[in-house]
Amino acid sequence: MALIPRLDVAALDALPLDPLTKGLPYDGPTMRVGDVGVQDWSVLDGDLPMPVAVIRQARVQANSAWMAAFTEANGLLIAPHGKTTMSPHLFDLQIADGAWAITVATVQQMQVCRRFGVRRVLMANQPIGLQAVKACFAALQDTSFELYCLVDGDEGLAQLAEGARLNPPPEDNPLRVLVEVGFSGGRTGARSRETALTLARAIAATNGLMLSGFECFEGLLPTAEAADGLVNEVATLARRAIEEGLLSRDHPIVVSAGGSAFFDRVGERFNAHEFPFPVLRVLRSGCYLTHDCMGYAAAFERICRQTQLALPPGGLVPALEVWAQVQSVPEKGRALLTMGKRDVGFDAGLPIPQYWYRPGSDMAGPQPMSQGYKTVALNDQHCHLELPVDSDLQVGDLVGFGIGHPCTTFDRWSLLMMVDETYRVVRAIKTFF
Amino acid sequence: MALIPRLDVAALDALPLDPLTKGLPYDGPTMRVGDVGVQDWSVLDGDLPMPVAVIRQARVQANSAWMAAFTEANGLLIAPHGKTTMSPHLFDLQIADGAWAITVATVQQMQVCRRFGVRRVLMANQPIGLQAVKACFAALQDTSFELYCLVDGDEGLAQLAEGARLNPPPEDNPLRVLVEVGFSGGRTGARSRETALTLARAIAATNGLMLSGFECFEGLLPTAEAADGLVNEVATLARRAIEEGLLSRDHPIVVSAGGSAFFDRVGERFNAHEFPFPVLRVLRSGCYLTHDCMGYAAAFERICRQTQLALPPGGLVPALEVWAQVQSVPEKGRALLTMGKRDVGFDAGLPIPQYWYRPGSDMAGPQPMSQGYKTVALNDQHCHLELPVDSDLQVGDLVGFGIGHPCTTFDRWSLLMMVDETYRVVRAIKTFF
């Protein structure tokens, strides 16, 4: 399968940054995104206000390479979910490592991809409403741009059919549609095999649309075993549709699934099915890129323990941290830091204090935080940290926090800092939430 | 007390909007903030992509006016917390209604205020770190800008003293400092009366700083009675400092407190204290402006029931809503909508479906949602809505959600839409998170 071209990072780096952007030094001049990396700023030396969200370059590159090796070794493709980072800089890293497409959840996210040159987008969602449907068909007028999206019912299909009628796509660039397969009590997705097949037939018969396969999102299921069942259903449906002649070998056929928790099971199940001709098995994990210290860390441990797939050397490591400064130690056993709900996600657990550094000291670099430090609360702009009795944490000290569920930390920042292993800023990471 | 001047909203309205901004129609031209209000866009007619965050103009104006009347009737001042909205458009409304200052939590927020012309800022936080302290003293070089900030301990004071030494403020524009009073197990703030007084003496003796009073944040306390005690302590400390000659009548003396849950108790307690000369009693509530449908709604009911203060006619009403579109009704009793954790706060409760509208129907306007509709989960980009058995909610229908804790909904949007009572957009509300 042809790779998609690298992105126009120069256009991104040329964007001006409002000096009011959270994360930039105060009272600085207006600079461009690309200027940030040449300022020689050091997080540890206090060149940046706190809090600051940092991405460790070596780690994020290693994660991207690991996933590329993993998918290649197992006959899979990856269309990384872009909603996690909404950062074209990071999309470009993923594309350089062989991503088949970028996945998005919304039309606004698709537009961000288009602006910076993503040539293939998988919208893992059903476009609904005048604005969304119109934008999809407008995008297809550019025949160098390829769009896959989902449908899970007649109403959604009717909206796409009407969109295609009003604004027909070029004959060689139809809207490629995957039928979404769901489960009772779950999110979107057809609830039965028969519903999904009926829908597939209707899509195949609609002008301007091309039935391209089936998909599911198994990430909300409670266990790997439950995920297996849903993924099997997707593969079974694809086989049935091929047998029925609804899917042709003249165009790419896709089966897809995948959050970041069960991507091994997705690969195993897809690989267990045989198809009469080539089918693209597409994972859509997004969180693997920066990984985390909580739920995805645990999920990856299970994967490494259980999977039958080939595991490349190394593995995923947490690459996203938020650093904050101790603002007050108002009583024994408690410190308050300059980081709050505005700065870090908390839906998968409170951030974990992991590193510690005292600016102006002779410390060689950040030290691992010893036992007994624990985030006990977040307010909008404050972090309440419990300290062990013998702590000598002081006002002005820096603490680096590990996070859970990267999506809800990324979306608190329109600008993150990519750093080297000494926490010097090597480039700005612009996001578009 | 002199009012502060209105803001430079023209500068704000002249800012260009990236067409990729979430909330704007797709594929639109680059427009300026001020252009949005003259497009004649209608939320109900489908002119905007979903989800969209809307502020109901009549309601937000009524809330602002109500708080102005309330504070005036009770001898109080308000420095609304700007962190809630981070919107200079809304700061300007609050200033037009007599706000004494704008409160902020961080230096980045102070810089936003300065850019658009807020002439008095109360930073309800202790500035810590090279960047933050330097920016405070740099700001004071402009003698038309007045800054109050907090100190809660010797380390914080030492950082401010060093900042004043390196970059002395003009003699007539010192950094005005309030001693923060806290409570055991709470957030920042001196833990005892003696600590607070000792700190007050040290501030009064520091070049470039001016002791200006005392404050607390009572919002984390569990009951109104507990809040009473802390607020009393602030007033008592101010009296003691006046008696000791640490506070002079030649400069404004401030006692301040106030989240949005107990602002009545703050006013009652402050008013119960007599001072030998005028003292400004400053509330810092922020959430009152848009109010909510959850915690603050309940808190306001208690206030109306219990307070001894004068209550103007009317009262606070919820003014911030997020509208989303039904994307799928994949099984009986469940709909999925185009709104997720990226679009609406969830830390004070899941959003409440309140209004319903079917685009293209002959409905006169949004109808109240009947009983039995309930948000049961949010994913990053999806809302799971439970429906009553007899629901005829359809794919494409619009649902308007009420929110809790406005701070965590505002910060998901760099652009909100101010609408009239027919949900036509009357202006863009730009935020700076």
Contacts of B326 in chain A (CB under 8 A): 128
CB B331 to CB A191 under 8 A?
A: yes
Q: Using CA coordinates, name the residue in chain B closest to A125.
A: B327
Q: Does a cis peptide bond (omega within 30 degrees of 0) precede residue A29?
A: no
Are the C-beta atoms of B271 and B75 separated by less than 8 Å? yes
pLDDT in tens, A52-106: 999 999 999 999 999 999 999 999 999 999 999 999 999 999 999 999 999 999 9
Q: Least CB-CB distance to A411: which of B128, B184, B342?
A: B342
pLDDT in tens, A355-403: 999 999 999 999 999 999 999 999 999 999 999 999 999 999 999 999 9
CB A20 to CB B432 under 8 A?
A: yes
How many interchain CB pairs under 8 A, A with B?
208
**Which A residues, 71 through 100, put their C-beta within 8 Å of a C-beta on chain B?**
83
A407 at interface of B, judged by CB pairs closer than 8 A: yes
CB A112 to CB B411 under 8 A?
A: no
HEC profile of chain A: CCCCCCCCHHHHHCCEECCCCCCCCCCCCCEEHHHHHHCCCECCCCCCCCCEEEEEHHHHHHHHHHHHHHHHHCCCEECCECCCCCCHHHHHHHHHCCCCCEEECCHHHHHHHHHCCCCEEEECCCCCCHHHHHHHHHHHCCCCCEEEEEECCHHHHHHHHHHHHHCCCCCCCCEEEEEEECCCCCCCCECCHHHHHHHHHHHHCCCCEEEEEEECCCCCCCCHHHHHHHHHHHHHHHHHHHHCCCCCCCCCCEEEECCCCCHHHHHHHHHHCCCCCCCEEEECCCHHHCCCCCHHHHHHHHHHHHCCCCCCCCCCCCCEEEEEEEEEEEECCEEEECCCCCCCCCECECCEEEEEECCCCCCCCCEECCCCCEEEEECCCCEEEECCCCCCCCCCCEEEEECCCCHHHHCCCCEEEEECCCCEEEEEEECCC
CA angle B273-B274-B280, nearest 5°? 85
CB A153 to CB B395 under 8 A?
A: yes
Give the number of other CB atoms < 10 A from CB of residue B224: 18
A46 at interface of B, judged by CB pairs closer than 8 A: yes
B381 at interface of A, judged by CB pairs closer than 8 A: yes
A347 at interface of B, judged by CB pairs closer than 8 A: yes
Q: Using CA coordinates, name the residue in chain B closest to A47.
A: B131
User: How close B186 comes to chain A (CA, Å)?
Assistant: 9
Contacts of B221 in chain A (CB under 8 A): none
pLDDT in tens, A196-225: 999 999 999 999 999 999 999 999 999 999
CB A130 to CB B48 under 8 A?
A: no
CB A395 to CB B128 under 8 A?
A: yes
A325 at interface of B, judged by CB pairs closer than 8 A: yes
Give the Cα separation of A418 and A429 in Å (integer).
Answer: 6
Q: Give the tokens for residue A407.
A: 């999506």
Average confidence (pLDDT) over A174-183: 98
Give the Cα separation of B41 and B152 in Å (integer).
Answer: 49
Q: Report the candidate in B243, B263, B261 with the shortest Cα–Cα distance to residue B253.
A: B243
Q: Give the tokens for residue A320.
A: 């996203």
CB B330 to CB A138 under 8 A?
A: no
For residue A185, pLDDT beyond 80: yes
**Half-sphere exposure in the Cβ direction for B186 (13 Å, CA):** 21
The pLDDT score that the predictor gives to residue A259 is: 84
CB A330 to CB B411 under 8 A?
A: no
CB B132 to CB A26 under 8 A?
A: yes
Q: Read off the pTM.
A: 0.97
Give the Cα separation of A354 and A356 in Å (integer).
Answer: 7
Q: Least CB-CB distance to A155: which of B105, B394, B412?
A: B394
The pLDDT score that the predictor gives to residue A2 is: 61
Are the C-beta atoms of A330 and A336 separated by less than 8 Å? yes
- The residue behind tokens 């990072």 is A9
Q: Least CB-CB distance to A50: which of B46, B129, B156?
A: B129
Distance of CA B90 to the CA centre of its chain: 10
The pLDDT score that the predictor gives to residue B209 is: 98
The pLDDT score that the predictor gives to residue B2 is: 61
Contacts of B185 in chain A (CB under 8 A): 331, 334
Q: Dihedrals φ, ψ of B134, to 5°? A: -60, -40
Are the C-beta atoms of B17 and B30 separated by less than 8 Å? yes
A129 at interface of B, judged by CB pairs closer than 8 A: yes
Cα torsion B156, B158, B163, B164: sign? positive
CB B135 to CB A26 under 8 A?
A: yes
Per-position DSSP letters for B183-223, written without gaps between them: -TTSSSSBSSHHHHHHHHHHHHTSTTEEEEEEE---TTSSS
Give the Cα separation of A251 and A295 in Å (integer).
Answer: 37
Q: Using CA coordinates, name the residue in chain B closest to A343.
A: B433
Angle between helical axes of B263-272 and B295-306 (0-180°, round to 10): 40
Give the Cα separation of A412 and A85 in Å (integer).
Answer: 11
The pLDDT score that the predictor gives to residue A13 is: 98
User: How close B327 comes to chain A (CA, Å)?
Assistant: 6
Best interface-test mutation with A: which of B106, B110, B382, B397 has the largest number of A CBs within 10 A?
B106
Res. A294 pLDDT band, cuts 50 70 90:
very high
The pLDDT score that the predictor gives to residue A45 is: 95
B331 at interface of A, judged by CB pairs closer than 8 A: yes
- CATH match of A9-56+316-430 with 2.40.37.20: yes
Q: Give the tokens for residue B149.
A: 């900030």
Q: Dihedrals φ, ψ of A150, to 5°? A: -110, 155
Residue B156 CB burial class (10 angstroms; 0-12, 13-18, ≥19): buried
The pLDDT score that the predictor gives to residue B141 is: 98
CB B338 to CB A394 under 8 A?
A: no
**Which B residues, 25 through 44, put their C-beta within 8 Å of a C-beta on chain A?**
25-27
**DSSP label at residue B34:** G
Give the number of other CB atoms < 10 A from CB of residue A96: 15
The pLDDT score that the predictor gives to residue A1 is: 53
Q: Give the tokens for residue A82.
A: 């872009």
CB A336 to CB B432 under 8 A?
A: no
Contacts of B325 in chain A (CB under 8 A): 128-129
The pLDDT score that the predictor gives to residue B1 is: 53
Give the Cα separation of B121 and B149 in Å (integer).
Answer: 8
Q: Does ipTM exceed 0.90? A: yes
Stretch (H or E) spanning B326: strand B320-331
Amino acid (one-letter) located at A294? M
Res. A405 pLDDT band, cuts 50 70 90:
very high
Give the Cα separation of A165 and B406 in Å (integer).
Answer: 41
Are the C-beta atoms of B290 and B63 separated by less than 8 Å? yes
B430 at interface of A, judged by CB pairs closer than 8 A: no
For residue A316, pLDDT beyond 80: yes
What is the residue extent of each domain of chain A? 9-56+316-430, 57-296
Res. A258 pLDDT band, cuts 50 70 90:
confident
User: How close A412 comes to chain B (CA, Å)?
Assistant: 8
User: What residues contact residue A35 under an 8 Å CB cut-off, 6+ apart?
Assistant: none
Give the Cα separation of B179 and B195 in Å (integer).
Answer: 10
Are the C-beta atoms of A16 and A32 separated by less than 8 Å? yes
Give the Cα separation of A73 and A307 in Å (integer).
Answer: 13
Are the C-beta atoms of B287 and B84 separated by less than 8 Å? yes
Contacts of B25 in chain A (CB under 8 A): 131
User: How close A337 comes to chain B (CA, Å)?
Assistant: 9
Give the Cα separation of B415 and B337 in Å (integer).
Answer: 20
CB A126 to CB B327 under 8 A?
A: yes
Contacts of A19 in chain B (CB under 8 A): 111
B184 at interface of A, judged by CB pairs closer than 8 A: yes
For residue A300, pLDDT beyond 60: yes
Give the Cα separation of B123 and B178 in Å (integer).
Answer: 10
Q: Report the candidate in B6, B12, B145 with the shortest Cα–Cα distance to residue B432.
A: B12
pLDDT in tens, A104-133: 999 999 999 999 999 999 999 999 998 999
The pLDDT score that the predictor gives to residue A3 is: 81
Give the Cα separation of A79 and A82 in Å (integer).
Answer: 9
Cα-based distances in Å from A231 to A150, A151, A188, A215, A304? 16, 17, 15, 8, 20
Pick the CATH number of A57-296 from 3.40.50.2020, 2.30.31.20, 3.40.228.10, 3.20.20.10: 3.20.20.10
- Residue A214's DSSP bridge partners are A179, A255
Average pLDDT of chain A to the nearest whole number: 97
**Half-sphere exposure in the Cβ direction for B395 (13 Å, CA):** 22
Contacts of B408 in chain A (CB under 8 A): 341, 380
pLDDT by position in tens, chain B (length 433): 568 999 999 999 999 999 999 999 999 999 999 999 999 999 999 999 999 999 999 999 999 999 999 999 999 999 999 999 999 999 999 999 999 999 999 999 999 999 999 999 999 999 999 899 999 999 999 999 999 999 999 999 999 999 999 999 999 999 999 999 999 999 999 999 999 999 999 999 999 999 999 999 999 999 999 999 999 999 999 999 999 999 989 999 999 998 889 999 999 999 999 999 999 999 999 999 999 999 999 999 999 999 999 999 999 999 999 999 999 999 999 999 999 999 999 999 999 999 999 999 999 999 999 999 999 999 999 999 999 999 999 999 999 999 999 999 999 999 999 999 999 999 999 999 9
Q: Give the tokens for residue B214.
A: 């005392």
Cα-based distances in Å from A253 to A103, A213, A242, A332, B420? 16, 5, 9, 62, 48
Are the C-beta atoms of A365 and A44 separated by less than 8 Å? yes
Q: Give the tokens for residue B151.
A: 């100190």
User: What residues contact residue B47 under an 8 Å CB cut-off, 6+ apart?
Assistant: A131, B25, B39, B41, B425
Q: Report the candidate in B338, B128, B348 with the shortest Cα–Cα distance to residue A341.
A: B348
Give the Cα separation of B73 and A97 in Å (integer).
Answer: 65
Q: What is the largest CA-CA distance in chain A?
A: 72
Cα-based distances in Å from A351 to A58, A409, B375? 22, 10, 26
User: What residues contact residue A158 under an 8 Å CB cut-off, 6+ apart?
Assistant: none
Q: Does a cis peptide bond (omega within 30 degrees of 0) precede residue A388?
A: no
